[in-house]
Amino acid sequence: MSTLVIVESPTKARTIRNFLPSTYRVEASMGHVRDLPSSAEEIPEAVKGEKWAQLGVNVEADFEPLYVIPKDKKKIVKELKDALKDATELILATDEDREGESISWHLLQILKPKVPIKRMVFHEITREAIRDALTHCRDIDNRVVQAQETRRILDRLVGYTLSPLLWKKIAWGLSAGRVQSVAVRLLVRRERERRAFRQGSYWDLKALLEKGKISFDAKLVTVGNVKVANGSDFDENTGQIIAGRRVLLLNEQQARALLERIQNKPWTVSNLEERPVTRKPSPPFTTSTLQQEANRKLRLGARETMRIAQSLYERGFITYMRTDSVHLSEQAIAAARSCVQELYGSEYLSPQPRKYTTKSKGAQEAHEAIRPAGSTFRTPQQTGLDGIDFRLYDLIWKRTVASQMADSRQTHVTVLTQVEDAGFRSSGKRIDFPGFLRAYVEGSDDPNAALEDQEVILPALKVGDKPNCKDLEAVGHETQPPARYTEASLVKMLESEGVGRPSTYASIIGTIVDRGYAKLIANALIPTFTAFAVTTLLETHFPDLVDTGFTSRMEQTLDEIATGEAKWLPYLQKFYTGETGLATQVKEQENQIDAKVARTVVLENITAKVCIGKYGAYLESENEEGPVKASIPQDLTPADLDPEKVEFLLKQKTEGPEKLGLHPDTGEPIYVLIGSYGPYVQLGDVSETNKKPKRASLPKGTDKDSVTLDMAVSLLTLPRLLGSHPETGAKVQANLGMYGPYVVHDQGKVGKDYRSIKPPDDVLTIELDRALELLSQPKAARGSSKTATPLKELGAHPESGELINVYDGRYGPYVKHGDINASLAKDESVENFTLQKALDLLAAKEAAGGGKSSSKSKKSTKTAAKSETATEKTAAKKTTAKKTTTAAKKTTTKKAATATTAKKTTK
């Protein structure tokens, strides 16, 4: 007797095999095994002539989906069918969310098993959890499957109906998405706010006071009992004080005059207030809050966070990572409280177990928050993890443990000090009992905020005290435009608006960047000109589809379908084919949309047109000779395009580039230009005999106006031949690349050895001896300044014969053998670390499923947000679209075949 267990991924399968008897065979489906067709060639011949075939959804027959097995899954399906032949029982053990339920349902339709079937779910992969899940199997939840199928159909209808419209009216390859387009609009709205922003300036005074040898800061807040203006008093659209505000706006002259007037006058404490504050710990992580914190603290993108979390889950380190719930099981609460007791003491334990409830009405993805797996929590040091795996687990462990810790008790102190008619305020914070802050402090979306709560100690003061003024200065300020969205703040906004599911945010943000709607620069999501054009078109002609309220209501309906409160078919009919349905709107609006207008981005204060072309955004203006077009550099954002930059780009096009001078050797002119990829210098003119003059990009951070003739001449010498390597005779060069200046030892077919050039070394002046010195240094590991030189050599592995060494890593010393890295315990001495200890540590890591760091592991086979990303597969394939269009125009229909192909086995 044998039982076949099917999960999604090989990693999950390997982990679960360890917990099941030998009579169980565990295989992986590699994610979804069936989906709507993603290209014309996947559409069955029997239905290619149908006009709905390109959608993959028969809108004429109750929105019947046309499911196909992709080419890359046919081998997997055959292997699963072969495995089922030898089984006496089938257990579908895919994830417990809607996607997992859907995968199990599709497997059931394809495999058509004749043996007993069970649906097994679990939220962590531990021996105890798997054995328990085996005794509590259930049937497939068809309502959840229907909700996922409706979501999939909705996303296909939106994507495949609107994307072709964008191709025709704006540019080929663009895509629209039910949630994606709303997220893009949020980015564009913020960028519009930045363009509309008008900077305001104000001045105040800052004092350094002293009492009892303790210094503290004080800031000017009033003059003559009138509040002094600060940044919050300014209107962002005018740069002026908000109408009706009774505040005193100081300029530099007034601030310095006030400083002189009170410079040597006595200071007196006029008021003192102490306010006790109690802070409670944040609840354990959900998918959304984990993505936000990992972005703030670890600078991980949403996709990267989910990939690493998926790996940790599949290897048994954490519970399921797609969840809206903040609930902890009794077992998890006990485990967390045990950690607090052991590591911090009973005084840091909350008096009663903390039980968190989920506020979100639609929370349904899993039964628990994201937490360490098991009935006892391994500390981060006990896991054997390293690198970014360790850091993410550490974040999850700390947040979970902190959730069961005592409140933090603080006292906030406010001191008002008077000097003449000027009032100053000092703020302090005293941590009376740190409580949960000993373990964890939540990050902030404010880039200027510290992640750690720190005390600000004020001296013992009372009303009437006269502190000494050690320093007094006038300080100027300028108001700042609204901050761009980071991945963390965008995820937070989407969740707060009820748009999409948290489990799809990573994929959505990735799609926005991949499709060219936004650039991720310094952790900020900056929308492109294309995003402006697409958003304007959708706002004008399909406002509901980019409205957060409308999209949120769609999510609520999908949740209601999952619980049986709403019917899927009437909803789809109203959304797509009703009087105001999407298909009707597209037919009505298509002829009303002027492609030339749609490709034009209107920006305030810019007289030239900004247009979207085949190769990106460009400026278009008229002069006496006719239209003038000039490319907009790719790194120039809509918020930063001002009249001065427009004038320069157009002038460069009409009058030619700015000449620096003549090359001292060739006599050719040298120009400074701005191209699609930023500023560069050029030697000579473009002509029939010199179609591609020599060019060189400016070093990163170098402004075009600071370039001198000598610098340009030097840049045009790049790559510089420094000489020959004394050992190989191969050439050694210095050059500028995508990631900055570097030296390279070029041995032709043997390969190239690179080293970065860091200040104070300069690519334009570095000599051969220094280059050889750099090349002789061990190459730094990517993302780390640590070298590959071992701290200690332990000896050869008894089986492989490979050397086992201890290295210094980003998070401390670790032992390495082949692809397996294992961190040493914090209290472990490198000097006393032996080969036997290393073998034990590596064996434990390998048994736990640890191979290479998950930051280098294969991508998860299950796509969390397939519902939106699959929509875009076709959008970028012009040939596919042409085939589909041709197929749809065939006059012969094969309705009988259609019904047979499209009909599902089980409803």
Name the helix (H) or strand (E) containing 86: none
Cα gap 873→860, rounded to integer Å:
18
- Can you say how many angstroms the Cα of residue 10 is from the centroid of all Cα atoms in its chain? 26
Residue ranges of E strands in 757-840: 792-796, 803-809, 812-817, 820-823
Please, are residues 335 and 376 in contact by the beta-carbon 8 Å criterion?
yes
- Which 8-state DSSP code applies to residue 322? -
Cis bond upstream, residue 719 (ω within 30): yes
Q: DSSP 3-state assignment of 896?
A: helix
Angle at 264 between CA 259 and CA 270, to 5 degrees: 85
Going by C-alpha positions, the residue among 836, 815, 832, 834 that lies closest to residue 824 is: 815
pLDDT of residue 767: 93
Which residues, listed in sequence order, are joined to residue 746 by a DSSP beta bridge?
731, 752
Burial letters 782-800, b for 16+ CB under 10 A, else e: eeeeeeeebbbebeebeee
Gap between the Cα atoms of 790 and 787, Å rounded: 8
Q: What span, in angstroms and rounded, lies between the C-alpha atoms of 50 and 891? A: 8
Q: Is 174 helix (H, G, I), strand (E, B) or coil?
A: coil
Q: Which two tokens stand for residue 529?
A: 């000109």
Nearest to 865 by CA among 510, 504, 551: 504
> How far, CA to CA in Å, does 739 sit from each of 514, 521, 525, 755, 756?
20, 14, 20, 11, 9
pLDDT confidence of residue 889:
37
User: Among 597, 292, 607, which residue's Cα sits nearest to residue 443?
Assistant: 292
**Mean pLDDT for back-to-back runs of 10 residues, the chain (907 residues):** 90 92 93 91 91 92 94 93 94 92 96 96 92 94 93 94 94 91 96 92 96 94 96 92 94 97 96 95 94 92 92 94 91 95 94 85 64 94 92 95 95 96 95 89 52 74 95 96 93 92 88 90 92 96 93 90 91 91 92 94 90 90 84 84 88 78 87 78 84 84 79 88 93 84 88 87 90 83 47 70 71 72 70 76 63 38 38 38 39 35 36
Residue pair 713/661 in contact (Cβ under 8 Å)? The answer is no
| Torsion of Cα atoms, 491 then 497 then 499 then 504, to 10° | 20
**Adjacent-strand bridge partners of 308:** none
| CA nearest to 255, candidates 80, 422, 475, 42 | 475
**Whole-angstrom Cα distance, residue 166 to residue 164?**
5
| Residues 178 and 151: beta-carbon distance below 8 Å | no
Measure CA of the first residue to CA of the last residue in the chain; give whole Å: 31
Task: Return the CA Rg of the chain.
Answer: 32
Q: Which residues of 432-458 are buried (b: 16+ CB within 10 A; e: fewer)?
A: eebbbbbbbbbbeeeeeeeeeeeeeeb
Q: Where are the beta strands (DSSP E) in 214-267?
A: 214-223, 226-227
Judge whether 746 and 733 are in contact, CB under 8 Å.
Answer: yes
Contact 35, 868 (CB under 8 A): no
What is the pTM (predicted TM-score) of this model? 0.75
224: left (phi over 0), alpha (psi -120 to 50) or beta: left
Output the pLDDT for position 799: 66
Residues acting as catalytic residues: 320
Structure tokens at 154: 């909705």
Secondary structure string (H, E, C) spanning 27-54:
EECCCCCCECCCCHHHCCHHHCCCCCCC
